[in-house]
Every structure is written in C-alpha cells, then in structure tokens.
C-alpha cells in the first residue's frame, strides 16, 4: 500500500468519525431540545400536574406577599392616620383649654369692672342729696293716724332714701296690732309711699272691767275701756297673761272661733246676724247665741248643719216675735221654743 492510499484511508476514517460525532451531537441536541419543551403548551402525563401545582403555589405566595404588603401598608397608613388624628385632637384640646382660660380671664375682668361700677354707683347714690326724702305719703289707713304710721316707720326727712330697707320699715310699722300688711314704694328721687292694710275689730272679749277687741282671725288688737258695738265672745280659755296686743288667742279658742265665724256667715245670709249680742263658746258641743233685743237664748249644739239651724231659727224668730224665752236647736229632730217663766 502506498502512502497516498494510507493517507486517504485516514482522512476517510476521520470524516466518518466526524460524521458519527455530528450524528451523536444532533441526537444529543434533539434529546436536550425534547427535555426543554414548553410545559405550558405540551401535555406530559405525570409531569404537567406537578408543574401546575408548583406554579399555583408560587402564584399564591406572590399573592399572599402582595396582600400582606397591602395589609401592612394599610395598617401602617391607619397607624399614621391615628397618630395624625391624635395630634389633631391634642391641638384641638389645647386650643379649647386656651380659649377657656381666656374666657375665664375675661369673665373675671368683667366681674371686677362690674363690681367697681356697682361700688362707685352705690357710693354716689348713698351720698348724694338728690335722693334725700322730702315727702312721705301714707294711704289705706282708717283706724291708725298718718302721724302714728310715720312715727312707727322711724323715717327721718332729709335723709337718703336708700339708707332705709323696705323690710325694716315694714317690720317697724307692723308693730301696731291693727296693721295687717304694709307695702313700701320709692318714688324717686325724694318721695316715699307707704300703703297699709288694717285689721278690723270683729268681736269683743270681756276681761274684768276691760274690753279686748279681736279680729276674725283671733288677733288681739287692743285692750281698752272703750265700748263699741261688737258681738261679745264669752267663755274663752285664753288666760289673762296670753291676752297681749299683736298676739293671737290660744289654739283651743282659735278652733272654736272657726265655728263662730261659720255661725255669723250663716246668720248674715239669713239676715239675723244683727240680732246676735254674744256667743258663748265655753262648751264646743253646745254653742249658745244670746239675742238681747229679741229676748231669746238659742242653743245650737255643736253647730253642724249650721245653715239648716239658722233657717229654722229665722222661722222661730218670726213666729215667736216679741216673746222672751229659749230656742232649742241642739237636736234637729226635736226643735222647739220655750217661754221664759
């Protein structure tokens, strides 16, 4: 064999080896390309499911991360918002406190100014002669004289009107038992008006040689030797030490006086009250009316159903006119007149 042929054989064998290598490489590359196919487009039994699970897990993780990030962002935003709100609230509270402090200071300042104005005004009013009393006007008095009321008031002319209190003047005037009520009115600048309401004597109580005038409320008005035409109350339990002008009869007598008033009211309705000279209240179970001009003594009992009793009394007075005797009305089932023997 020649060298050329040897050389040619070597080249052919090289070419064949190269071809084999190329075939192997192509086969190997095909395998690689087959191994690297698209799992999303190709369906491989036993492989595609596993890959989708992994993909879902991956996506879930991403979504969870996103949601957690969002929630964390939201929570952080909420925290910042809360902090901001707290700071705003603090600022509002601080401004309110400051405003309240300012208001308090203003109020204190206003009160001080007002107090100063009042003090200065009071000093001026109390010292100026403009308000000196030059005239006292009294009204409503009949029994008590104007001079008496002016004296009781203890008011001096040419004295500042505001040096006297209304309560003090009223208290002084009401020391007189005949004075029921007093009204004081300042007519500025220099006039004082006094209006009184007097108590009217309604009954007389005889104590020894004296007459004691009382009104319909049991107030003791006067102890006097004067005698005026008033119905006399007989049988009072108030002792002499309790008979003080300006005071009232004791509670026992006041209770009986309520019945006496009812008797007189009913007698007025029946037009026979002027005939009553006196009433004996000693026994509250049997009130006794004395009619001197008619010459009759009337026994009323406890004075219940007083209107019926007064109506019957009026009929008896008309029927027994001019006769002296006793009328028994204490028992409504047995009413009669008995002549005096």
What's the CA gap between 208 and 231, in Å, rounded? Answer: 17
> pLDDT band at residue 230, thresholds of 50, 70 and 90?
very high
CB 143 within 8 A of CB 115: no
Average pLDDT taken over every residue of the chain: 84
Q: Calculate mean pLDDT across residues 256-264.
A: 95
What's the CA gap between 26 and 17, in Å, rounded? Answer: 14
Kindly report which listed range (65-69, 95-99, 188-192, 275-279) carries the lowest average pLDDT score.
Answer: 65-69
pLDDT score recorded for residue 74: 61
pLDDT in tens, 55-80: 555 666 666 665 655 566 566 666 67
Domain ranges of the chain: 82-115, 130-198, 203-339
What's the CA gap between 308 and 263, in Å, rounded? Answer: 11
- The CATH label, of 3.40.50.720, 3.40.50.11690, 3.30.479.30, 3.90.226.10, for the domain at 203-339 is 3.40.50.11690
CA 186 from centroid of its chain's CA atoms: 31
CB 14 within 8 A of CB 6: no
Kindly report which listed range (72-76, 122-126, 276-280) carries the lowest average pLDDT score.
Answer: 72-76
pLDDT score recorded for residue 89: 79
What's the CA gap between 298 and 320, in Å, rounded? Answer: 13
**CA distances, 268 to each of 262, 271, 273, 274, 311 (Å):** 10, 5, 5, 8, 11
Kindly report which listed range (8-17, 40-49, 229-238, 325-334) carries the lowest average pLDDT score.
Answer: 40-49
pLDDT score recorded for residue 26: 58
Ramachandran angles phi, psi of 235, nearest 5°: 90, 25
What's the CA gap between 229 and 102, in Å, rounded? Answer: 76
What letter would DSSP give residue 219?
B
pLDDT score recorded for residue 52: 53
**CA distances, 172 to each of 148, 196, 326 (Å):** 11, 12, 49
Q: Calculate mean pLDDT across residues 241-262.
A: 94
pLDDT score recorded for residue 59: 62
> pLDDT band at residue 46, thresholds of 50, 70 and 90?
very low
- The CATH label, of 3.40.50.410, 3.30.70.1880, 2.40.160.10, 3.10.20.310, for the domain at 130-198 is 3.10.20.310
CA angle 211, 260, 227 (to 5 degrees): 20
Residue 91 clears pLDDT 50, i.e. is over it: yes
Of the two residues 125 and 29, the one the predictor is more confident about is 125
Residue 223 clears pLDDT 80, i.e. is over it: yes
Instruction: Name the range with the highest mean pLDDT among 83-87, 100-104, 279-283.
Output: 279-283
Q: Calculate mean pLDDT across residues 205-225.
A: 93
What's the CA gap between 128 and 76, in Å, rounded? Answer: 77
pLDDT score recorded for residue 331: 92
Q: Calculate mean pLDDT across residues 303-331.
A: 94
What's the CA gap between 260 and 253, in Å, rounded? Answer: 10
- For the stretch 77-107, what's the b/e string if a residue is b when 16 or more beta carbons lie within 10 angstroms of its beta carbon? eeeeeeeeeeeeeeeeeeeeeeeeeeeeeee
Of the two residues 158 and 58, the one the predictor is more confident about is 158
pLDDT above 90: percentage of residues in the chain? 57
Residue 340 clears pLDDT 90, i.e. is over it: no
Angle between helices 251-269 and 306-319 (to 10 degrees): 50
CB contact set of 150 (below 8 Å; sequence gap of 6+): 136, 138, 194
Residue 23 clears pLDDT 80, i.e. is over it: no
Of the two residues 341 and 37, the one the predictor is more confident about is 341
CB 317 within 8 A of CB 275: yes
DSSP 28-93: HHHHHHHHT--TTT---TTTHHHHHHHHHHHHHHHHHHHHHHHHHHHHHHHHHHHHHHHHHHHHHH
Angle between helices 146-153 and 166-173 (to 10 degrees): 130
pLDDT in tens, 160-176: 999 999 999 999 999 99
pLDDT score recorded for residue 272: 95
């Amino acid at each position: 064999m020649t060298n050329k042929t040897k050389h040619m054989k070597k080249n052919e064998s090289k070419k064949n080896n190269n071809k084999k290598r190329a075939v192997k490489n192509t086969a190997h590359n095909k395998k690689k390309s087959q191994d690297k196919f698209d799992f999303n487009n190709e369906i491989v039994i036993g492989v595609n499911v596993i890959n989708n699970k992994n993909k879902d897990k991956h996506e879930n993780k991403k979504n969870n991360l996103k949601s957690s990030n969002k929630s964390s962002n939201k929570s952080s935003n909420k925290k910042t918002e809360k902090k901001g709100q707290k700071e705003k609230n603090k600022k509002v509270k601080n401004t309110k406190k400051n405003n309240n402090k300012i208001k308090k200071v203003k109020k204190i300042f206003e009160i001080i100014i007002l107090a100063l104005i009042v003090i200065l005004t009071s000093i001026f009013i109390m010292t100026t002669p403009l308000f000196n009393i030059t005239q006292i006007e009294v009204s409503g008095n009949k029994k008590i004289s104007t001079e008496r009321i002016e004296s009781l008031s203890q008011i001096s002319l040419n004295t500042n009107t505001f040096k006297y209190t209304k309560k003090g003047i009223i208290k002084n005037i009401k020391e007189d038992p005949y004075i029921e009520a007093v009204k004081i009115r300042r007519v500025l600048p220099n006039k004082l008006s006094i209006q009184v309401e007097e108590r009217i004597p309604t009954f007389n109580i005889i104590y020894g040689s004296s007459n004691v005038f009382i009104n319909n409320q049991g107030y003791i008005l006067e102890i006097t030797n004067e005698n005026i035409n008033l119905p006399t109350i007989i049988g009072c339990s108030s002792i002499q030490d309790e008979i003080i002008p300006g005071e009232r009869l004791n509670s026992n007598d006041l209770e009986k006086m309520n019945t006496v008033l009812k008797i007189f009211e009913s007698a007025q309705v029946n037009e026979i009250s002027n005939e009553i000279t006196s009433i004996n209240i000693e026994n509250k179970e049997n009130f006794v009316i004395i009619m001197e001009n008619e010459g009759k003594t009337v026994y009323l009992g406890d004075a219940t159903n007083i209107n019926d009793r007064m109506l019957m009394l009026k009929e008896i007075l008309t029927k027994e006119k001019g006769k002296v005797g006793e009328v028994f009305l204490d028992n409504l089932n047995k009413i009669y007149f008995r002549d005096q023997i």
